Amino acid sequence: MLKYANPTNFLALAARLIPWLAGAAALALAVGLYLTFFVAPDDYQQGASVKIMYLHVPAAWLGMMCYMVMTSAALGTLVWRHPLADAAQKAAAPLGAAFTLVCLVTGSMWGKPMWGTWWVWDARLTSVLVLFLIYLGLIGLWQTIEEPAQAARAAAILTLVGVVNIPIIKFSVDWWNTLHQSASVFRLGGPTIAPSMLWPLLIMALGFTLLFFALHLMAIRNEILSRRLRRLSITAAAAEDPEVAGEAAL
């Protein structure tokens, strides 16, 4: 395991894993979408619009899971000061923002026919919107601080502060009376959703998860390479200008 903390070994591992992950993600998403549109039954009340669930729910899960991945990377940054953890943090933020945005947009499209409104300010919707805003803030922080290691530490602290929002999202439907329904898959006493709908949902969730890991590995690889490029260009500039050489040594 420790062997892959070395960026070069990690790049080799990523190069081997990414095709498999991407292929598995494509397969799971293809099967999941087929099941969604041709096998899973329509809801007796909602009709075909229940199909939005197969995108909405996995996107919501991934939006939160991505934050937890980012939180563990943030611990890696603060405790071990490992550059790979910095790269994992930085790569996760735009992915999490994208999944959360998909969750918000599909939820809104589902809410219009079912609730009669695009948006309500209830606890679940608001806390997911706050999650999206935290992701945007983190991206802003990464873009503002020039020195990568310093940006990683600042982002790690903000990530750890913002993690309080995750249990709020999870339990918002239980703590407050919300228009959003409460949990029906991960709950005590087993899922309340029919197996004919549960299986396509779980396969879609698997596809989304594999997709996330494939994209995350690719983004980490890009981050490692762009850091090497940055270092090389500083060294190249230093060869021409002795003053820059002094700065690079610092």
Contact set with other proteins (CB under 8 A): 78, 126, 130, 133-134, 136-137, 140-141, 144-145, 150, 153-154, 156-158, 160-162, 165, 168
Residue written as token pair 């596809």: 207
We find the least distance from the C-beta atom of residue 52 to other proteins, in angstroms, to be: 26
Q: Which residue's CB is nearer to other proteins, number 158 or number 179? A: 158
Rounded to the nearest angstrom, the gap between the alpha carbon of residue 48 and the centroid of all alpha carbons in its chain is: 28
CB of 138 to other proteins, least distance (A): 8
Distances (CA, A) of 155 to 83, 127, 147, 167: 13, 20, 12, 20
Q: How far is the CB of 9 from other proteins (least distance, A)?
A: 27
Q: Are 67 and 166 in contact (CB under 8 A)?
A: yes
| Residue number, 69 or 74, with CB nearest to other proteins | 74
At its nearest, how many Å lie between other proteins and the CB of residue 24? 35
CB nearer other proteins, residue 54 or residue 132: 132
Question: Could you give the CA distance from residue 157 to residue 79 in angstroms, rounded to a whole number?
Answer: 11
Phi-psi region of 2 (alpha: psi -120 to 50; beta: other; left: phi over 0): alpha
Nearer to other proteins, 27 or 139 (CB): 139
